[in-house]
Amino acid sequence: MGRETKTKPIKNQDLGVKAKSARLSGVSIGLAVCGGIAAVETVKLARELRRHGAVLTPFLSPTATDFVGAAALEWACDKAPIQKPRPSVDHLEAFDLVLVAPATLNSLAKAAAAITDNVVLLLIASQFGRKAPVIFVPTMNEQLAHHPHFKDIKKRLESWGAIFTKPTEEEGRWKMPETQALVAQILETWK
């Protein structure tokens, strides 16, 4: 008779990241991805946040997948994205931080009006209701950034405790900063 052997499950090394610091060790982040071309940067952003110890749960607005694939974000976050409200009400989870990247004018305006017509907006509203941190990474065409109502939107969200990162302004657009610079802004905010 042969001996029974126990085999250890093999962890997929491709999903792992090499630690750079423990500054976000165990910090649960709801990564809210809105539908804009800057969404393509969120894969790199998620991986970099994980290198600092963050535990990410991705949420996708209905148009986010027009710009970034759910499979790519699942790989980057090591967790499947939430795309619709579910019976488990994931959007009501108590995250240490909600990071909205990219934050489009559409989503910012809806968040400021407490409109919750998708899972990303439900997540943001829930986080504000808990008086917990929300960081917005605004990305948009400068014409939209100069819309007269944008200042009011930003002021209202900041009055609720929201923090806005500084965008990179080039080619007539507000773009997401380079990944390293953006993570540095988040780490500075998260002291």
Could you tell me if 58 and 31 are in contact, meaning their C-beta atoms sit under 8 angstroms apart? yes
Q: Write down how long the chain is.
A: 191
Task: Give the full edge-to-edge strand order of the sheet including 140-141.
Answer: 140-141, 173-175, 168-170
C-alpha distance from residue 175 to each of 36, 38, 85, 154, 159 (Å) = 10, 7, 29, 17, 24
Average pLDDT over residues 108-126: 97
Average pLDDT over residues 92-117: 96
Task: Quickly list H helices, the chain.
Answer: 42-51, 70-77, 105-112, 119-129, 142-145, 148-159, 179-189
Mean of per-residue pLDDT scores for the chain: 90
- The predicted pLDDT at position 14 comes to 55
Q: What is the pTM of this model?
A: 0.89
Q: Is the pLDDT of residue 6 over 70?
A: no
pLDDT per position as a tens digit, 30-84: 999 999 999 999 999 999 999 999 999 999 999 999 999 999 999 999 999 999 9
